[in-house]
Amino acid sequence: MIANDCKLDILQLGERFGSVTEVMNILAQHPEWDKAPRRLKLSMLDRAMKEVNSQADHLSPQHWRGDVNVRHVSLQTAWSRGRRIVEEEYPKAIAVLESAELTYPPIDFLAPGGTLLFDAPLPQDDLDESLESFTFPLPVSPDLPEISGEVDITEMEGHARCQTDREIQTEIEEELGILSDLPQEKGGIERTLTINGQSVHKSRILAMYGKYRKSVSSTDRLKRVQQLERYTSKLEPQANPLTGALTEESFVMIHDPVATLLCSEKRLWLCLGEVNSIRYDGQPVDRLVHSLLSEPAVSLRTTGELFLTIQREHSRFLGGARYESHVPNPGKSCFIAEGPKVNDITDLEHWSLLAVVSKTEAYVYQLKGNYDTFCYECEVATNYMKDQSLRGGCQVGTIPLSQLDWLKQKLKEVTVIRHDFNFDCQNWVMAAIQALKDHGGIIAPGTTERKVRAEMEEEKERWEVADDILFERLFP
């Protein structure tokens, strides 16, 4: 059979079904072949065709049966045995060895020419390092006599005793000062880089660089293992025909800071953000020239904050926004959060509504219990991003902070159905979104059940491959 290939055609399917039919016919004729795969285990045999114990390759000293006592070993015995072997292999050596024994002094290993090796004079090019005189650096002083030839150790030691302790201490301090000024050699490879005066690990720098440079992996298993993208054609404009080649001042890149002013309800808002997505004609790119930003085919997606210019009131925008086309109302963002599976039979994940106040605080509106004990519950979650069961989310709208109490009472009116296997927490969340959508002003336009489920499924896939989820992208 084939892997999860998304382009399976009828011809391939027919060939695979034909192969399966042949296998079924063979197994019907030979049912004894229809068994689960088993591991073939063969024992090791020696030359006598006897089974070798499995511990034979893990011998310890207690299993050794040989004689390892070295006190019974004599060099004379080894020499005599070796001589007999030589005489058997080369008979002419018998007369040579016997004549060597009759010479005086007799020939042995240490005196092959009749003279001991350690008493023989050394050649001119062979120097014995053990007989060389020790040399030490002597301080240059006009009072010292000129030294020529070989250095005498006793004379040098006598001169060293003449120096006072103060002079020796001064020389040592000078040498240590010179060594401290030398650059210290560090072994290994540096793991950090200095950025803006701070030491940052290289792995973190690479993670920051590639955070928003994600590519959609292929749906084919073999291509996904090869880290191939789903869409191979990627458009990246290298140069603008109007301005020429790209320079550092002529294009915008991912991670670049952005700032703009917005006017909403007769109020000025200062928008500060960071570019995390650039698309040109629907295709993701890493950079884009400034002259193309005004074209309708270009879209930038940023994550940032909105600050009201008047200090008496301010609000924070937690979701991503396209500043050129959509500006969210000031207030707290509403999300759908996805948790672990609550039913292995239906293979459903737990959904809940979140009103995110900050990176650590959120109001959670959810349905708890089983199909016969469902009940509505509201609670305040702290450090919700550290929850191990959080698997992603989807932004559906915004709500002012002053209406959170109203939201709590409004969601109580959403119908809860018990003793019905077709009703679950996901149905309750979609019913709550529809109720808020009918009220108006909270749910973002264009929010549909099909769109929400598609985004939640995409978040689930990102979580399964250890990619960043919505909340991690909003609060890096």
- Per residue in 333-342, pLDDT (tens digit) is 555 555 554 4
Residue 150 has pLDDT above 60, yes or no: no
The answer to whether 73 and 81 have CB atoms below 8 angstroms apart is no
Rounded to an integer, the average pLDDT of 19-40 is: 86
CA dihedral 29, 32, 34, 36 (to 10 degrees): -170
What beta strand segments (E) does 265-392 contain? 267-280, 283-284, 287-289, 298-308, 332-343, 348-356, 361-368, 375-382
Tell me: cis bond preceding 105? Omega within 30 of 0 counts. yes
Distance, in Å, from the CA atom of 317 to the CA atom of 306, rounded to the nearest integer, reads 6
pLDDT, greater one: 89 or 207? 89
Q: Which candidate, 208, 467, 475, 466, places its Cα nearest to that of 360?
A: 475
The answer to whether 100 and 107 have CB atoms below 8 angstroms apart is yes
Confidence of residue 59 (pLDDT cuts 50, 70, 90): low
Query: Which pLDDT does position 89 carry in this prediction?
Result: 92
pLDDT digits (tens, 9 = 90+) for 3-15: 555 566 777 778 8
Residue 84 identity: R
Query: Which pLDDT does position 113 carry in this prediction?
Result: 67
- Name residues whose C-beta falls within 8 Å of residue 455's C-beta, 6 or more positions apart in sequence: 394
Which pTM does this prediction carry? 0.33
Tokens of 402: 């002053």
Residue 303 has pLDDT above 60, yes or no: yes
Residue 248 has pLDDT above 90, yes or no: no
pLDDT digits (tens, 9 = 90+) for 160-175: 555 555 566 666 666 6
Distance, in Å, from the CA atom of 158 to the CA atom of 154, rounded to the nearest integer, reads 6
Residue tagged 């301090």 (tokens): 173
Query: Which pLDDT does position 88 carry in this prediction?
Result: 92
Query: Which pLDDT does position 66 carry in this prediction?
Result: 73
The answer to whether 52 and 46 have CB atoms below 8 angstroms apart is yes
Helices 75-89 and 93-102 pack at an angle, to 10 degrees, of 140
β-bridge partners, 308? 269
Rounded to an integer, the average pLDDT of 122-143 is: 55
Q: Which helix (H) or strand (E) holds 180?
A: helix 165-181
The answer to whether 44 and 56 have CB atoms below 8 angstroms apart is yes
What beta strand segments (E) does 127-191 contain? none
Kindly report the average pLDDT of the chain as a whole number: 71
> In which region does residue 410 sit, left (phi positive, over 0), alpha (psi from -120 to 50) or beta (all else)?
alpha
pLDDT, greater one: 476 or 331? 476
Query: Which pLDDT does position 449 carry in this prediction?
Result: 85
Query: Which pLDDT does position 184 carry in this prediction?
Result: 54
Tokens of 251: 């294009």
The answer to whether 263 and 315 have CB atoms below 8 angstroms apart is no
Class of residue 440 by CB neighbours under 10 A (exposed 0-12, middle 13-18, buried 19+): exposed
What beta strand segments (E) does 313-388 contain? 332-343, 348-356, 361-368, 375-382
Rounded to an integer, the average pLDDT of 372-379 is: 85
